[in-house]
Amino acid sequence: MPSPTKEGTEAGATIEEATRFSPKFGPDGTLPAVAICAQTGEVLMLAYMNDEALARTLETGEAHYWSRSRGKLWKKGETSGNVQKVVELRTDCDQDAVLLKVEMIGSPAACHTGRRSCFYRVAEMGGAADGKDGSFGPLRFVDAERLFDPETVYGAE
């Protein structure tokens, strides 16, 4: 197995040990991108990137994503002003996911609901959470304070 620190050609290197970034996008042309706070390491959000979003992120140092619901490239903060400055971008062993260390410019809230993180609800462990009725049980709100008013920032729906 090649040395993890060895530079050189990719001949024979597995995807896990490769020294070139050759991301594996999924069938829809995207891969998941996890954004964490560069200072605290908190997980802020998970979104998706296609090749263009990834290229623009690497070129500009500002996070760009692909909106699967709107079918368009999306610069984080283009509406809210809450841009994500990318301090570091990592890929994983299989090169089918990326991790971004970001500094939030403007509000520290990364979630479109105005919250710091998109992960503000805890699912109950144990019990009959079998999903047979389409539900996996109750959710409990934590760290759910709103740091901005989404209606003010994005307009009423």
Q: Mask: binding to a second copy, 33-72, rule CB under 8 A, as x and -?
A: -x-x---xxxx-xx----x--xx--xx-x-----------
Quick check: 152 binds a second copy (CB under 8 A)? no
> What whole-number distance in Å separates Cα of residue 93 and Cα of residue 27?
19
Going by their DSSP bridges, the two strands 84-91 and 72-75 should be labelled as unpaired
- Distance, in Å, from the CA atom of 77 to the CA atom of 21, rounded to the nearest integer, reads 26
Phi, psi of 114 (to 5 degrees): 95, 0
CA distance 27 to 33: 16
106 lies in the site for a second copy, by CB under 8 A: no
Asked whether 31 and 49 are in contact (CB, 8 A), the reply is: yes
Which parts of this chain interact with a second copy (CB under 8 A)?
A: 1, 4-5, 16-23, 27-28, 32, 34, 36, 40-43, 45-46, 51, 54-55, 58-59, 61, 86, 88-94, 97-99, 111-113, 115, 118-127, 129-131, 134-142, 144, 146, 151
Binding residues for Zn(2+): 93, 111, 118
Show binding-site residues for Mg(2+).
92, 94, 96
